Amino acid sequence: MSEKKLVIFDLDGTLLYTVPDIAAATNQALAACGYPVHSEKEIASYIGNGINKLFERALPEEARNKEEVLRIRSLFLPYYGEHCADMTRPFDGIPELLAAICRRGIKVAVASNKYHPATVKLMQHFFPEIPFCAVFGEREGVPRKPEPVIVWDILREAGIHCPAADGPGRNFPDERPSVLYIGDSGVDMQTAANAGLEAVAVTWGCRTREELASYSPAHIVDRPSQIADILF
């Protein structure tokens, strides 16, 4: 395997265990609107495609329309913005892994479908010492994962060349083999495939090993230390 220059991480279920705070914020919004609430396990199964899709899945079938999704969103955002770090925590071994990657001179970045301000806030709160070269969440006008646009944005920030990120008329060598993409969901595995990146699926998030294996990632790992083994 070629030497890696950049590691791109998903956030929810990969770097941070965020389900309790997402569930609490979603349920308070649902309850305020008179809708049934959900268990953390149910909420976990709804995560991965952005918050609007989360709300759509959490609403009763007859209420799954744009107006109600936006109503839930308007209640979710201020609550989650205030409480997004109450019960959230890094997965065991993640802070040590990030520090080890940085000591090796490998760049690190975050690509998340979580809305962008919360993505940035959580990275600053939990990993203030990590010099991420890019931290991107869901941004208006930018397609969500599994579309690879977020990856192209990160590659440009990191100075990693590939034809799709560089644009026409620039004939640099394709450096995508020097990038590793790490995530916990099928959306992440599809993102890596769409971007032409080597993928690592982690089993400590919200999806089963069997589901992850169905996407044929290059690696499936059960502990952060196994990512270090791949890189170093």
Average pLDDT over residues 12-41: 97
Instruction: Say which range, 52-56, 148-152, 171-175, has the weakest mean pLDDT.
Output: 171-175
Every domain of the chain and the residues it spans? 6-17+88-231, 19-83
CA-nearest of 209, 231, 232 to 220 is 209
Q: What is the DSSP string of 132-145?
A: -SEEEEE-TTSPPT
Q: 19-83 maps to which CATH number?
A: 1.10.150.240
pLDDT at residue 167, as a whole number: 79
Average pLDDT over residues 104-125: 96
Task: Name the CATH superfamily housing domain 6-17+88-231.
Answer: HAD superfamily/HAD-like (3.40.50.1000)
pLDDT at residue 200, as a whole number: 98
Average pLDDT over residues 83-100: 98
pLDDT at residue 206, as a whole number: 86
pLDDT at residue 1, as a whole number: 46
Domains 6-17+88-231 and 19-83 share a fold: no
What are the residues facing 135 on neighbouring strands?
110
